[in-house]
Amino acid sequence: MKPDALLSPRYLSLVLAALLVTGLLFSRALLSIMMASGLLLLLFPSVRQVFGAVFKRPLLFLLAGIIIFYAWLFFLDPQQYTLERMGLHLGVISLLCLLHFMAATSDWLLPFILSVGVLSTFPSVYDMVMHEGLAALYEKGQVAYTLMQGDHQRFTIWISGCLAFSWYYWLMEHKKQAFYFILYFTIFLLLLSVRTGWLFAGLVTVAGGLIYLQRQHKRVYWIRAILGLILLLAIAYSVPFVRNKIQYMQWEWREKKAAEQLGSSDAIRWMVNESAVELIRENPKGLGEAKAALALKERIKINYPESSVSFQWPFNQYLKWWLTAGWVMGSLPLLLVLYLLYRLYFTRNYLTAVWVLFIALTGLYESTLEMQYGFFLGVFFTGLLYLYESGLSKRTVLRAYR
């Protein structure tokens, strides 16, 4: 193959996708570089024109909200860290441009991502099969993933996104092989992921199933779907690790004090979030990024002097916004999320709406969008699902290279 052919948009998009996913799974530094690389594409006038036409209105609302929110945080507590966080979230422009370029110039993007998703699960499967010592982690809903620097929560979100693509591939593209991706990712999430995976597997199965069944006008399909869902849940519950995780979670909720002494995951969340709520009530205008982190760390020490827990942000995205920016400005990002869900629902982008709802729900027990992995995964799958489901990925940018 000639060198100029390798640099054509069709192949370049796959190279960019490979680098992007490699950065996600193995290197935060490479991920940062790839997130910024979309700015280079905006140097081409035709790319700018098409990108602006595709994302014009939602992007304007999003950028305005990000700038206003962080301007208020900087006013409360002028810190370089605040500007760095604003830079990370303004990177949504670059990432969306990169995503649109890849989706518009290559028909192999989705199969590539789904195939990489399957390969990325192999280390977890291998660990579980070959090392019995990890069983205790699975009982508590935790898995010792060897990818994404051991970030099992974000890795589960990655596999959930792959499952969302699989459902799109089946419902919209009518590809038979998508069924096997759906089955594999669903089983992986039910058996080997943290509870975040259970949440999304349930959401997308119900939503995707309803979309499919509405297109079928035979009662037998509804009966088969209900029986299949019951069978899948029964099989999952029969697996010891799944049953143990459910029982462990129930124990944590019943025996809160004992769970706190053991440093269990839900107990830690309660301790940190309860302390954050106290500070929010005392500081309705917000504290800013650095002051909020210091105040929360000190409050946890006061409330739980015998505990070794030391966190600087809540395990809740909404509490994080309210703690740093106050009741009024802290609600601005939430309003943007609600507006996005409203637009997606009434434009019939149902799968994209399910994904956004999922990310919003993870925010109830994780500061999902505060971390590089969480922010990237939220934008990555929201952007691509929106482009594909709404048909905007068909707007080509090839002429930018002619």
Start-end of H helices in 107-255: 109-130, 135-139, 152-171, 178-192, 195-215, 219-238, 240-254
Which tens digit of pLDDT belongs to each residue from 145-195?
668 887 888 999 999 999 999 999 988 876 778 889 999 999 888 888 878
pLDDT of residue 307: 73
Q: Specify the pLDDT at position 53.
A: 77
Burial class (CB in 10 A: 0-12, 13-18, 19+), 208: buried
Q: Picking from 12-16, 48-52, 153-157, 226-230, which range would have the lowest pLDDT averaged per residue?
A: 226-230
Calculate the dihedral angle through the C-alpha atoms of 188, 192, 193, 199, rounding to the nearest 10 degrees.
60
Amino acid 144: pLDDT: 56
What length is written for the chain?
402
* pLDDT tens for each residue of 288-317: 988 998 999 899 888 888 777 777 789 999
Q: Give 142's DSSP letter.
A: -
Lowest mean pLDDT among 48-52, 121-125, 215-219, 341-345: 215-219
| pLDDT mean across residues, the chain | 82
Q: Which of 95, 94, 69 is nearest to 83 (CA)?
A: 69
What's the Cα-to-Cα distance from 169 to each of 103, 111, 175, rounded to whole Å?
14, 9, 6
pLDDT of res. 221: 66
pLDDT of residue 3: 43
Give 4's pLDDT tier (boundaries 50, 70, 90). very low
* pLDDT: which is higher, 264 or 98: 98
Alpha-carbon separation of residue 278 from 84, 300, 390 (angstroms): 27, 10, 43
Share of the chain above pLDDT 70, in %: 83
The pTM for the full model equals: 0.88
> pLDDT: is 329 or 217 the higher one?
329
Task: Say how far apart CA 356 and CA 362 lie, in whole Å.
Answer: 10
State the Cα–Cα distance between residues 16 and 11, nearest whole angstrom: 9
| pLDDT interval class at 338 (50, 70, 90) | very high
Residue 350 C-alpha from the chain's centroid: 17
Q: Of 370, 378, 254, which Cα lies nearest the Cα of 314?
A: 370
Taken in order 157, 158, 163, 166, the sign of the CA dihedral is positive
Average pLDDT over residues 95-103: 90
pLDDT value at 84 more than 70: yes
